[in-house]
Structure 1
């Protein structure tokens, strides 16, 4: 491996800073003291429980007054963590709401020392001379031996997924009977927050369960087997000893079982595993399947160690396949196949199951995902929470035209990236594992279930089962002077392909969060329940009229049950979970 120069390290980091310097984000005001909000419409009589949502809530750090220190975060994934809590009370027809910023110590640290070795997804904090960047690298190096559990619970921003009932390390005392709520992200760091007040209580990582799980990266989206009561995830080490570890944690005991340590592709040449960005993966009844797109970390992750910036340290290889690493859930079997498929990138898997083909005896895996043909998405989502109003589309299009004139390719990415015009395909991959030669003779193919789909969810009780309905977001670009951009909601019936769309009576731009399906207790029909979505409205009259509300839809026909108005602000959330009041049943995410 050749050692690159310092200038080479920062080539793409500087490109990111230039592309995103004009990003415009707003802070969300927290509501730490719960308030009761009247419902507009009517909640179903059975809808009682708590919905948690998590995402970025602060982008402007510090005081914006002249002469005061402030920092603007430029990428949506780096916005400081913010959690919403919605407690539904159908008897009173009210919702108890509170929210909280959960990275306050981190904000203080970044403001006091932007060159303090802070990691990020796409925001460049260490903009300055080579000496400042070197000091930033040293600070990051000095942090590697600090235990998260010894840090202030709010001294990191953990803002992607939020999971009730997540198992905690067995070494912790006095937590087994608590209502547990844990936030996660793509770095190997977790944050326990209070289930009611949302106050950060503890930082930790997967090595707190087992010292073997010390990889720097992991998947924000774990998997949970609701029948065996086990949580699954991966950690990824970068550097000279690159390794992908697949593991499970027993809910009851927090005991860890490492299912595989992957260092090569099991091919004839023993091709080494190449570290790459990973956000989610599949689990079936008998397998864990980890998709690795060709969005690799340069120099085995050395660039990431130096810059601390994920986007600035990655490179995209369109001519290389995406690889499916298939691992048996039986730890005595381990890694059984690495299967190449078409080159694509996906943030989110949806559902997985496996069965034996009676005609051949081969194991068949059905794996659903939302796939993008290219890999511009991580760059495009820097502006995900700023949809364009109808009256601004002409100016936006002119900016886009000007941007394209200066586009260039850096490490396989087009920068500045073109604006997002559609989501990816909802695909179903069919993997056939040859029972005699799984590594050399297994095959994979796919078909498209829906176009323009992201953040898809299904009925939580249909784990490992064939299912019929999928709920997801879709994107509409908008029409100049008529209709703003939309992140809308759709439902697709996989039996007949029929799509049901929710469209409000408005010309404003709006953004619906990832839909959460909540089944009616005792229901027998798969779509008997509600769909919940936190909806932000970007008013054509101007930002002072922007607002957001919680939307409650009838999942059968997308008719509107209710809205819960939250106030004159907009809020971007990535993911969430619904749980009953006793934390007995919940939808994992």
Structure 2
């Protein structure tokens, strides 16, 4: 593992041709862009956490049964400042950086006071977001960096706060059938009380000729006040149905006092996140057409979640599936001192690892003051999820376990907001290093896997066949790396029905382990 995790990646700025073994479907044309940490040291300085590494974006372009590859570092302000200084000069999630010791304490104190809620790094290493016709590298801060999807060149930095009052935002938006983008952010400082904000960017808002970004036409859908002013919930994604936004306000929280004093305590931002196992999880429903929140208070036991899978409405219920954990220890596993251990030590040190669970919650919508107390109001068949109305009118929800050991979930996005059957993901058992791809049937609760010894596949991305009507009619794409020098990195193409290998495109370049990706059809890259 030491040859893969935490090792600096390298750029391949000009496209190189892959060697294809097998047969890539002729209809598969477009570019898969993937994002993730790729540079873990600058000069003699090293990052502490895998989520700190500087963004390295890479793309796989499919055309006429062939694949070309290229990669480039995101030229964020953070990247340019670090490279210019030949050391790490911008703090990240798990690495706090201090200024030149020659600067006096008063200068540092007043600089910090002006940034109690800091202007975070713009090292956007998590995902690729589309707003209108604009593409951005994104993480969870107020800055995003626009990129050219064809060349991977960095066009420039955009600040959400120029268009809407946000300090944080997710890198996992949703897109409706028209192409409108929905996303969530947190407004900690600004006008009014701190709140979570749901916003929409219209699909036709871009003006490339005038170089006007789609974000200029952003619309606030709704805001939700914090449950606790000093402890906003951390969230990585959210759910969406045909009519509702689902926000899970979990007891994995950002401690604002600790954040404000982190610099002086010598703590990093990651240490400002705390999980309260004794607090409940709230489930907020917002009508995405009217912006009105459902008044019923839905809640459940404490949990931690990063990724939603899918959500839909059925017979006056909102059904939503997500990956949950019993605690927040997953983040600690990604400190590089842990990730670079040999396999046996990693297993030994993570015996208490809380595995990811595909979890289903069901929220009844037809609740009234007349609803019977202490009775399960979920009437859907084929689920053990419950929703029991309490004496005060709140509804206590317990989940249905669909599958254990899956992360980085992806679906056929044509079935987003609709009742669905299949989820694809990285098979996770005893460590954060998935070495299998799984397809889970959420109806039958069965699964199939792809596996190759000593290989580590990325998050699987589903691409539907042209004109497909069946949910699993398409292919799965995943970039695969191996510590074995005799195994070239490759783009894997699987039959989405069976997970049988159709082809692999061996890349004559170094490929890094990444996080998330976005497939852009050829018709949209011109």
TM-score range (shorter-chain normalised) is 0.7 to 0.9
Residue number in structure 2 paired with 1:520: 465
Distance in 1 of aligned mates of 2:105 and 2:286: 40
1:185-584 matches, cutoff 5 A: 185-209=139-163, 213-227=164-178, 229-238=179-188, 241-253=193-205, 254=214, 255-265=217-227, 274-299=231-256, 302-303=259-260, 306=263, 309-331=268-290, 333-334=292-293, 336-355=295-314, 357=315, 363-383=316-336, 386=339, 392-396=342-346, 400=349, 418=350, 421=353, 423-436=355-368, 440-477=393-430, 486-504=434-452, 506=453, 508=454, 510-539=455-484, 547-567=488-508, 569-583=510-524
Distance in 2 of aligned mates of 1:235 and 1:396: 35
Residue number in structure 2 paired with 1:415: none
How much has 1:584 moved relative to structure 2?
8.0
Residue number in structure 2 paired with 1:407: none
Residue number in structure 2 paired with 1:171: none
Residue number in structure 1 paired with 2:94: 122
Distance in 2 of aligned mates of 1:100 and 1:50: 15
Distance in 2 of aligned mates of 1:41 and 1:132: 63
1:36-115 matches, cutoff 5 A: 36-62=17-43, 70-89=44-63, 91=64, 93-103=65-75, 105-110=77-82, 112=85
Partners of 1:54 and 1:574 within 8 A in 2: yes
Partners of 1:126 and 1:133 within 8 A in 2: no
How much has 1:49 moved relative to structure 2?
1.2
Instruction: Return 272-281 or 236-245, whichever deviates more.
Output: 236-245
Partners of 1:327 and 1:336 within 8 A in 2: no
Residue number in structure 2 paired with 1:160: 126
How much has 1:533 moved relative to structure 2?
0.6
How much has 1:158 moved relative to structure 2?
0.6
CA spacing shift, 1:72–1:157, aligned 2, 3 Å: same
Deviations 1:435-493 (A, max 9, x none): 43699344533101110110111111112211111111112449xxxxx9752101112
How much has 1:383 moved relative to structure 2?
4.1
Residue number in structure 2 paired with 1:9: none
Distance in 2 of aligned mates of 1:366 and 1:190: 31
Residue number in structure 1 paired with 2:7: 26
Unaligned runs of 5+ in 2: 206-213, 370-388
How much has 1:147 moved relative to structure 2?
10
CA spacing shift, 1:27–1:332, aligned 2, 3 Å: closer
Deviations 1:111-151 (A, max 9, x none): 639796x3421123239989888756654555799999xxx
Residue number in structure 2 paired with 1:12: none
How much has 1:264 moved relative to structure 2?
4.9
Unaligned runs of 5+ in 1: 1-22, 63-69, 149-154, 168-178, 266-270, 358-362, 401-417, 479-483
Q: Secondary structure at the match of 1:40?
A: strand
Deviations 1:177-200 (A, max 9, x none): xx5321111112211101211111
Root mean square deviation, CA, Å: 3.4
Q: TM-score, normalised by structure 1?
A: 0.74
Partners of 1:162 and 1:181 within 8 A in 2: yes
Partners of 2:55 and 2:125 within 8 A in 1: yes
CA spacing shift, 1:33–1:138, aligned 2, 3 Å: farther
How much has 1:215 moved relative to structure 2?
2.2
Deviations 1:260-286 (A, max 9, x none): 222255xxxxx6584122110111112
Instruction: Return 487-496 or 99-108, whichever deviates more.
Output: 99-108
Residue number in structure 2 paired with 1:181: 135
How much has 1:523 moved relative to structure 2?
2.2
How much has 1:88 moved relative to structure 2?
0.6
Distance in 2 of aligned mates of 1:204 and 1:131: 30
Instruction: Return 516-525 or 418-427, whichever deviates more.
Output: 418-427
Residue number in structure 2 paired with 1:35: 16
Partners of 1:51 and 1:86 within 8 A in 2: yes
Distance in 2 of aligned mates of 1:127 and 1:373: 38
Q: Would you say how many aligned residue pairs link Structure 1 and Structure 2?
A: 487
Distance in 2 of aligned mates of 1:533 and 1:430: 31
How much has 1:371 moved relative to structure 2?
0.3
Residue number in structure 2 paired with 1:405: none
Distance in 1 of aligned mates of 2:104 and 2:50: 25
